[in-house]
């Protein structure tokens, strides 16, 4: 029995999320359906990182085990069978003990905002025409690297053992259409990034002070956090693995 990693990218607009669900179409469900059609047998997939309904990914991973013959040329067939909103970018063998989720060293996300109405960005970026103090937002953002407990930025009814996250990067960057939020961490909580973006924008608009920002982080109370940030601006941009699990060549 061999184990394989699958690298995928997708537009999450039409899906109920990444992980398979019984009541809606998901990224995992679509890929599993294609594999079952092609191989004429069910092949369960294990995902590396869940994304919510409407969230996109430039890079995400599955792993699966099989005795079937797996070849790179099959990528063409899989992609021809998949919806245009999902692409399999790569597929390669890994050690039998490799795990797409648990072996990930870090995950990175980008949240895109555009400042002028643009129909070509609809559903892929958040139209945000309001003036913000980016310097003030960056000061608040820099403080994220000094905190480890992000319970305030976790939505309710989340089954996790810890709210500890080790954020290694957090910044706001200019783009051709506006600006974007970039963040990397060993793990993220449910709703965390959208909560961070929404609350940091409140800092930028002067709706909350820096002092209040720190109070919110320390409060361990999600009621103070703005989770209304829409899903369509959020992208899982990269998952980092140890070198021995990366495809070379």
Neighbours of 105 (CB within 10 A): 12
* Residue in this structure with the two tokens 């609350």, named with its chain if needed: 199
C-alpha 141/C-alpha 5 separation (Å) is 34
DSSP-H helix ranges across 118-176: 134-142
Nearest to 139, CA basis, from 85, 95, 204, 78:
204
**Is 65 an active-site residue?**
no
Write down the catalytic residue from 52, 103, 122, 174: 52
Nearest to 3, CA basis, from 119, 101, 96, 106:
96
CB 52 within 8 Å of CB 46: no
Q: How would you classify residue 91: left for phi > 0, otherwise alpha for psi between -120 and 50, otherwise beta?
A: beta
- Residues forming the active site: 52
């Amino acid at each position: 029995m061999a184990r394989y990693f699958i690298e995928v990218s997708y537009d999450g607009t039409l899906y109920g999320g990444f992980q398979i669900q019984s009541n809606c179409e998901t990224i995992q469900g679509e890929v599993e359906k294609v594999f079952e059609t092609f191989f004429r047998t069910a092949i369960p997939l294990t995902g590396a990182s869940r994304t919510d309904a409407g969230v996109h990914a430039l890079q995400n991973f599955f792993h699966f085990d099989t005795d079937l013959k797996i070849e790179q040329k099959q990528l063409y067939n899989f992609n021809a069978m998949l919806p245009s909103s999902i692409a399999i970018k790569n597929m390669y063998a890994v050690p039998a003990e490799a795990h797409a989720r648990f072996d990930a060293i870090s995950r990175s996300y980008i949240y895109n905002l555009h400042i002028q109405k643009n129909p070509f960005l609809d559903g892929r970026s958040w139209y945000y025409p309001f003036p913000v103090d980016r310097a003030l937002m960056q000061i608040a953002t820099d403080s994220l690297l000094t905190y480890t407990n992000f319970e305030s930025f976790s939505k309710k009814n989340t089954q996790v053992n810890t709210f500890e996250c080790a954020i290694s990067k957090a910044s706001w960057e200019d783009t051709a259409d506006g600006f974007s939020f970039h963040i990397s961490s060993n793990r993220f909580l449910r709703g965390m990034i959208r909560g961070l973006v929404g609350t940091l924008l409140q800092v930028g608009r002067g709706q909350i002070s820096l002092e209040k920002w720190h109070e919110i982080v320390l409060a361990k109370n999600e009621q103070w956090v703005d989770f209304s940030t829409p899903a369509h601006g959020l992208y899982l941009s990269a998952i980092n693995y140890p070198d021995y699990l990366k495809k070379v060549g």
